[in-house]
Structure 1
Amino acid sequence: MASAIAQSAAKLKAVFGEAPAIAVVLGSGWSGASEQLQNPQRLSYADLPGWPLPKVEGHVNEVVVGTTAGGQRVAMLRGRAHTYESGDCTGMAAPIRSLKAWGVQVLLSTNASGSLRQHQPPGSLMLIADHINAPQRSPLVGLSGSDRFCDMSTAYDLELRQAAKALAQEVDQRLCEGVYCWALGPQFETPAEIRMFAAWGADAVGMSTVPDTILARHAGLRVMGLALITNMAAGLSAEALTHELTLREAKESGERASKFLGQLLDRLMKLSSLQ
């Protein structure tokens, strides 16, 4: 793994030059953000040792580096490995550790999620304040020494969240803040499971992000998470849950979400802590 990470970091630098401060993992509904980048350069995951080739619909499997409308340089990952694809929750280990070795400082993880709260209907954006690892699976299992232990008490960076909330007020973007619950999938949750997650304090549920966050925090990256709400969770509406429903709602709301993401990246890049 160490050799693959070093090779991938070297390849990223050879193709794109110095690393931008922020890298974004684009989940379902967020791909439009990469299409807004100016002067984009692209690199396939297949050209990066150790990187996965997810087969989930809507994931392209390439790194795109370009500049936002505000002139800020950023890297975007168009595709992520999900644990439900293979049962392995370490699928994003090489990409995330390669980003760190390249020089990235912040991982901004986006996803499509189901809402557990009526005040957060489909089309909403939720800033992730914390998460619940419902399967209790960890991509750090198998590491040795004290280095395997990772503090998750401040998993989602407070300064970055405050910047997002301030921006949302300025641009009149409704932005909820809540707790994201990771469910393994690929089956959707039952109504009983959703009631349990809500009682635990979860506000949204999805099948990604949490392993990425654990890996990023372990690597020393700052983390921010944004969820695009695509449906009400099981038992909270009469609509049957399907992947096609998720993709349809993500497509309908994705343009607005991607616009806010671009504005957010411009704002975050101006933070003194990222200079």
Structure 2
Amino acid sequence: MQDTLTHPLDAPDASPFDVAAQAADDIARLTGVARHDIALTLGSGWGKAAELIGETVATIPATEVTGFSRPALEGHVGTLRSIRARDGRNVLVIGARTHYYEGHGVRRVVHSVRTAAATGAKIMVLTNGAGGVRESWKPGQPVLISDHINLTADSPLEGATFIDLTDLYSARLREIARSVDPTLDEGVYTQFRGPHYETPAEVQMAKAIGGDIVGMSTALEAIAAREAGMQVLGFSLITNLAAGIQKTPLSHGEVIEAGRAAEPVISALLARVIEAL
């Protein structure tokens, strides 16, 4: 495992894009797949989708790839998987997400996305488990991300790098997802810093400024994907209603259990969407 003192992204003169290029070379060498077409980050509850997309060509520990850290969160498996879809495209499945609240810095948070772009992927599919602000949503329900609000007070962009985020979450890809499942709802994802859950007042603030979903990932990764020129599709699994909307205390165990219960249905949905992209 790469520690804080030796991690390649933490060196003062390190280029995160050079580190991502090295990581992409590692993936090509370790999987035997020179290029990937689609990348997929699997959040809580989405893990079984990898089994349904196609034939697994190779599975590698993420820590064998330059710049990747060991996942700190239960529900994230710590591997990178190369899958050949039925139509012949190569899908890179990322089961090794670094969360912002781990305190490693934004470069490490978005390294998986930059690596995916360096492998050749043009589409980035980001998934997560999150809290729902709309009372009409139920635990276990998947929703599309239409936009986001970044409340981390941070950005993966460095220096005078100005990226237009007007259509960050691709309308074309969302339309394809809805062609697979016309019942899919959508909403605005709000990323908080974490790792504590939001207070009821913070949830009401998110609602007042246009948020429908609250969580601790995805927004920073989506910005990095756009910087890299990828099209972005986002899914949230509503694992619980957010604090103050739900009347019982929140727990990570509840999130994991909701993910497990919903996993067969949402994984099959995600696999069908990947096939249609």
Range that drifts further, 223-232 or 149-158: 149-158
Q: Is the 8 A contact 1:22 1:104 kept in 2?
A: yes
Question: Gapped runs of 5+ residues in structure 2?
Answer: 1-14
Q: Secondary structure at the match of 1:7?
A: helix
1:16, 1:65 within 8 Å by CA — same for their partners in 2?
no
Q: 1:55 aligns with which of 72, 75, 90?
A: 72
What corresponds to 1:273 in structure 2? Answer: none
Alpha-carbon RMSD: 1.6
- For residue 19 of structure 1, report the CA deviation from its aligned partner: 2.3
Q: Does 1:39 align with 2:55?
A: yes
Separation (CA, whole Å) in 1 of partners of 2:155 and 2:47 = 27
Structure 2 length-normalised TM: 0.89
Task: Tell me what 1:189 maps to.
Answer: 198
Counterpart of 1:11, as a letter, is D
1:68 deviates by 4.3
Offset from partner CA, 1:141-200 (integer Å, 9 cap, x none): xx23x4x2211111101110111112112xxxx311110110111100111111111111
Evaluate the alpha carbon distance shift between residue 135 and residue 98 of structure 1 in structure 2; reply closer, same or farther with a 3 A threshold. Answer: closer
Q: What does residue 272 of structure 1 align with? A: none
Counterpart CA distance in 1 for 2:82 and 2:210 is: 37
**Runs (4+) of structure 1 moved beyond 6 Å?**
none
**Distance in 2 between residues matched to 1:112 and 1:230, nearest whole Å:** 6
Cα offset, 1:16, TM superposition:
3.6
- SS, match of residue 188 in structure 2: strand
Corresponding residue SS for 2:135: coil
How far off is 1:37 after superposition? Answer: 4.3
1:10 corresponds in structure 2 to: 25
Contact 1:36 1:68 in 2 (8 A): no
Letter in 1 for 2:177: A
Once residues 38 and 163 of structure 1 are traced to their aligned partners in structure 2, the CA distance between those partners, rounded to angstroms, is: 19
Structure 1-normalised TM-score?
0.89
1:254/1:69 CA distance change after superposition, 3 Å: farther
Percent identity over paired residues: 34
Q: Is the 8 A contact 1:69 1:262 kept in 2?
A: no
**Contact residue 68 and residue 262 of structure 1 kept, 8 A:** no
Number of residues of Structure 1 aligned to a counterpart in Structure 2: 260
Q: Is the 8 A contact 2:53 2:274 kept in 1?
A: no
Q: Structure 1: 5+ residue runs without aligned partners?
A: 269-275
Q: Partner letter of residue 13 of structure 1?
A: A
The answer to which of 177-186 and 88-97 deviates more is 88-97
